[in-house]
């Protein structure tokens, strides 16, 4: 079984450094060791949700516009582990998306510029897509500024502070990304240990699904599904960005991911609470 997070007291396998991010940490051995030394030991943190001996239910809350107006917030809050993605806000949207957060899974450019989770038990799970993401995560854990050199490698503004304590940070095992890409989506492996520009990468949503399968016995999705035939429909529940914006994405394969999700939902392995991918409760 894949360990979903990396810990300083659990030895790292050589496989961890075979590939560059996001498949591994090749060339980043020192930075990874430095970051892990700032994080807690695996045995010093409380169990996530109900703990490993209970039947645990996960919901991965996407940011899809399909969530708007469904008032699923109270249902979402009943799950044992609630995984949220990137900067998806709560607050005024809590009626549709809930108030509780177990995990906010993100990378620097996707993280909320202003922290939105009031749940005292919330964890930030850092996903590393490039080397500078490790440096940024270290800066957030240590509550220090990101270096001017590192700022040059971000493609949009990133937070300069995540108001959590060190024991609330986790580093995602890149094997979760690798497993999602190679085993679930059947993407070809990268060549030469490098992640090429033409290589497809999984969205953080599908990667979160794989993470949820490692943490829970039952997995549900909410706010997933891209209907590219409705180009004017809202892409997110919290803004007016149209669905057509996904057509500009070159690093993700929407068709491949939709096919995977439909197969999992139709087969009963995963439940779709909003019916945005495969609606079993629609007429």
Count the helix, strand and coil residues of the chain and give each as a percent rounded to the nearest 5: 35, 10, 55
Does residue 5 lie within any of the structural domains?
no
Per the CB < 8 A criterion, the answer to whether 126 and 172 are in contact is yes
Does residue 280 lie within any of the structural domains?
no
Which of 33, 35, 31, 238 lies closest to 140, judged by CA? 35
Per the CB < 8 A criterion, the answer to whether 195 and 201 are in contact is yes
Does residue 2 lie within any of the structural domains?
no
Residue 77 burial class via C-beta count within 10 angstroms: exposed 0-12, middle 13-18, buried 19 and up:
middle
CATH of the domain at 19: 3.90.1480.20
Residue 157's pLDDT band (boundaries 50, 70, 90)? very high
Does residue 8 lie within any of the structural domains?
no
Dihedral angle computed from the Cα positions of residues 2, 274, 115 and 112, in that order, rounded to the nearest 10 degrees: 80
Does residue 78 lie within any of the structural domains?
yes
Domain total of the chain: 1
Mean pLDDT of the chain: 89
Does residue 70 lie within any of the structural domains?
yes
Does residue 278 lie within any of the structural domains?
no
Q: Is residue 127 reached through a cis peptide bond, with omega within 30 degrees of 0 on the bond before it?
A: no
Q: What average pLDDT does the segment 77-89 reach?
A: 96
Residue 22 burial class via C-beta count within 10 angstroms: exposed 0-12, middle 13-18, buried 19 and up:
buried
Q: How far apart (Å, rounded) are the C-alpha atoms in residues 174 and 172?
A: 6
The predicted model scores a pTM of: 0.92
Which structural domain range is residue 155 located in?
A: 14-272
Percent of the chain with pLDDT over 70: 89
Does residue 6 lie within any of the structural domains?
no
């Amino acid at each position: 079984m894949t360990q979903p997070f990396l810990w300083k007291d659990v030895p790292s396998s050589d496989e961890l450094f075979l590939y560059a991010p996001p498949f591994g940490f090749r060339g980043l051995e020192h930075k990874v060791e430095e970051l892990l030394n700032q994080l807690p030991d695996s045995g010093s943190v409380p169990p996530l949700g109900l703990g490993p001996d209970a039947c645990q239910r996960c919901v991965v809350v996407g940011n899809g516009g399909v969530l708007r107006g469904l008032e699923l917030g109270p249902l979402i809050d009943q799950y044992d582990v609630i995984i949220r993605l990137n900067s998806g806000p709560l607050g005024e949207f809590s009626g549709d998306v809930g108030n509780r957060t177990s995990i906010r899974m993100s990378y620097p450019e996707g993280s909320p510029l202003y922290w939105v989770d009031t749940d005292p038990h919330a964890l930030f799970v850092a996903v590393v897509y490039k080397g500078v993401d490790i440096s940024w995560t270290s800066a957030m854990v240590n509550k220090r500024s990101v270096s001017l050199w590192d700022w040059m490698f971000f493609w949009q503004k990133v937070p300069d502070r995540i108001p959590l304590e060190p024991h609330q940070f986790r580093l995602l095992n890149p094997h979760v990304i690798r497993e999602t890409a190679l085993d679930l989506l059947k993407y070809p492996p990268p060549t030469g240990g490098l992640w090429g520009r033409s290589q497809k990468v999984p969205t953080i949503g599908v990667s979160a699904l794989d993470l949820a399968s490692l943490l829970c016995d039952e997995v549900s999705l909410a706010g997933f599904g891209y209907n590219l035939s409705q180009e004017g429909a809202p892409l997110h529940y919290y803004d007016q960005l149209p669905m057509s914006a996904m057509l500009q994405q070159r690093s993700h394969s929407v068709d491949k991911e939709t096919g995977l999700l439909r197969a999992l939902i139709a087969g009963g392995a995963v439940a779709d609470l909003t019916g945005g991918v495969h609606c079993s409760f629609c007429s």
